[in-house]
Amino acid sequence: MICNLEKKDIEEFKTTNILPQTPFWARVKRNQGFIPKGFELTISKDLLFSTANSLEKKSEDLLVLIKYVDNVNCFAYIPYGPKLEPAFENQGLFLEQLSESIKPFLPPNCIFIRYDLIWENQWALEEEYFDNHGNWIGPPPSATQEYRLNFNTANWNLHKSIEDNLPKNTFFLDLTLKDQDLLNNMRYNTRYNVKKANKKGIRVLEYGIDHIGQWYKLYQETAMRHNMPLQNQEYFAAILKNQDNSKKGVSVKMLMADFGGSFLSSMFLVLSKKRGTYLYGASTSCKNNLMASYSLQWESIRIAKEWGCSEYDMFGSAPNLNQAHPLHGVHIYKKGFGGNIYHRMGCWDYPYNKKLYNLYRVQEIKK
């Protein structure tokens, strides 16, 4: 089994559907205080599948973000990576070997490395973790997850993170379908609301950074309505400024739905290779009977399809229909567009300094 890394210029990364593993994401995160590092990861195939030929190799680009927690200590974070997905029984071994292989490239006072795994959740494929209505009830307690993932590892050092950073659950739409088939796959109420918004005269257009203030007003109202932590306006301006404006990179479209000159809903659509991602959304509570957010979402789906995308990522949802979940309403809204829900493994840590790591976990719990 071989796990080898070489430094690589992030701007030389190959195009990918995985948005948080792009040069665009590195530029955005640099503005937020992270230090991006790029690598080419090469592994032998038997690290993915035990039955594979160890002489065969697989390679991928890997974006690593360094974040300092004080003047001396830091941690490493891999957003939605690595992209190569091993068989369940090899996942822990793969992460262990990668963690040890990447350690010499990290600052000497790196406390731990955190993987925000894009891999399908192992417990989302087991019948006992679904209720009688077919709803996924979620994975078992962290200790049970850790026992399985550390199986076959030498150091038994993988820990489930206190929280997940990027969305762990999402809906994917198949954009290879015709428009009418996409409409037919929607729930009746969603399809009705899309048509109603169009009949009422909702207009959806793309706007540039000169309209970032209008976006931010909608965003502030949405954040206050849902008791969400606020990002500043420059955070969203950076998303527009750092795009590649090319089909070889990442393109960002700020779409806004208006009625009679008033903006009612807005969103960021991000296009990367063959995937469109609904990154951020905002709306006013005024005139919500016009269903502007439904027209906006449908137009975004159509734009992604016209761009050449084969899939559309709703980027975040509750894992099931539990009404107590804070994203229950988001789940109902996104489910209505007819996609298939996908459950990821979420964040996992590999500590290098266990004493400092345990102290960091205590601080995370207190947040």
Is the same domain home to 153 and 197?
Answer: no
Residues 52 and 106 in one domain: yes
**pLDDT at residue 322, as a whole number:** 81
* Percent of the chain at pLDDT exceeding 90: 80
Calculate mean pLDDT across residues 177-194: 96
d(CA 92, CA 112): 16
The CATH number of whichever domain residue 264 belongs to comes to: 3.40.630.30
Cα gap 202→220, rounded to integer Å: 22
In a domain, 203, yes or no: yes
**Residues 130, 195 within the same domain:** no
pLDDT at position 1, please? Answer: 62
Does residue 320 lie within any of the structural domains?
no
Amino acid identity of 236? F
Taking the CA atoms of residue 159, residue 161, residue 162 and residue 165 in that order, the dihedral angle to the nearest 10 degrees is 180
Q: What is the pLDDT of residues 130-168, one digit of tens each?
A: 988 888 999 999 999 999 999 989 999 999 999 999 999
pLDDT average, residue stretch 16-29: 96
Per-chain mean pLDDT for the chain: 93
Same domain, 54 and 156: yes
220 and 134 assigned to the same domain: no
pLDDT of residue 285: 83
* 226 pLDDT more than 90: no
Lowest mean pLDDT among 144-148, 197-201, 203-207: 197-201
pTM above threshold 0.85: yes
Mean of pLDDT values over 2-31:
94
- Residue 92 identity (one-letter amino acid): G
Report pLDDT digits (tens) over 302-354.
999 999 999 999 998 988 888 888 888 889 999 999 999 999 999 999 999 99
Residue 348 has a pLDDT of: 98
Domains contained in the chain, number = 2
Task: Give the pLDDT of residue 118.
Answer: 96
Residue 186 has pLDDT above 70, yes or no: yes
Domain span including residue 12: 3-166+344-366
pLDDT at 265: 95
User: Among all chains, which residue has been given the structure tokens 């009949």?
Assistant: 199
Q: Judge if 16 and 148 occupy the same domain.
A: yes
Please check whether residue 171 lies inside any domain of the structure: no
Rounded to the nearest 10°, the torsion over CA 219, 222, 224, 227 is -120
Give residue-wise pLDDT tens across range 347-367: 999 999 999 999 999 999 887
Distance between CA atoms of 179 and 250, rounded to whole angstroms? 24
The per-residue pLDDT for range 38-67, each reduced to its tens digit, is 999 999 888 888 887 777 888 999 999 999
82 preceded by a cis bond (ω within 30 of 0): yes
Of all residues in the chain, the percent with pLDDT exceeding 70 is 99
87 lies in the same domain as 20: yes
Do residues 154 and 225 share a domain? no
- Omega before 167 cis (within 30°)? no
Q: Which residues pair with 282 in a beta bridge?
A: 266
Looking at the fold, whether 196 and 264 belong to one and the same domain comes out as yes
Residues 72 and 105 in one domain: yes
Q: Can you give the pLDDT at residue 126?
A: 93
Domain's final residue, options 264, 282, 309: 309
Would you say residue 185 has pLDDT above 90? yes
314 in a structural domain? no
The answer to whether residues 200 and 157 belong to one domain is no
Domain assignment of residue 328, yes or no: no
Do 194 and 153 share a structural domain?
no
Instruction: For residue 56, report the phi and psi dihedrals to the nearest 5 degrees.
Output: -80, 140
